């Protein structure tokens, strides 16, 4: 369903530690924009009754059913896009703007 790289997992765990949210699940939300691209959000949260739960790299992820459908097959990474500027990226084959990395 969703894959988190080791780099992303390390940053998520660091964020949980710094934010005193250890033990909480990571909620990932996805919504489709008017142009069919996908908008992403992440934060620590408690699960709700209808949530889908996935565990990868020792990170428990919770998703709404609609987000789970949009995020199917997604890989989340934490990369340096510019010198000293790191951010999470979503490599999502369901997003029309996604282009797979060149091998």
Q: Is residue 96 part of a domain?
A: no
What range does the domain containing 56 cover?
Answer: 2-91
Could you give the number of structural domains in the chain?
Answer: 1
CATH number at residue 50: 2.60.300.12
pLDDT at 101 over 80: no
Strand ranges inside the chain, DSSP E: 2-4, 25-32, 38-45, 52-56, 59-63, 74-82, 85-91
pLDDT at 84 over 80: yes
Q: Is residue 99 part of a domain?
A: no
Q: Residue 99: how many CB atoms within 10 A of its CB? A: 7
pLDDT at 100 over 80: no
pTM of model > 0.85 = yes
Q: Is residue 98 part of a domain?
A: no
Q: Is residue 100 part of a domain?
A: no
């Amino acid at each position: 369903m969703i894959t988190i790289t080791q780099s992303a997992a390390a940053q998520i765990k660091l964020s949980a530690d710094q934010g005193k949210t250890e033990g909480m699940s990571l909620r990932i939300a996805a919504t489709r924009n008017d142009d069919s691209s996908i908008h992403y959000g992440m934060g620590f949260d408690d699960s709700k009754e209808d949530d889908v739960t996935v565990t990868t790299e020792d990170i428990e992820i919770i998703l709404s059913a609609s987000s789970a459908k949009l995020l199917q097959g997604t890989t989340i990474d934490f990369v340096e896009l510019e010198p000293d500027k790191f951010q999470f990226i979503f490599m999502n084959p369901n997003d029309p703007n996604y282009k797979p990395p060149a091998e």
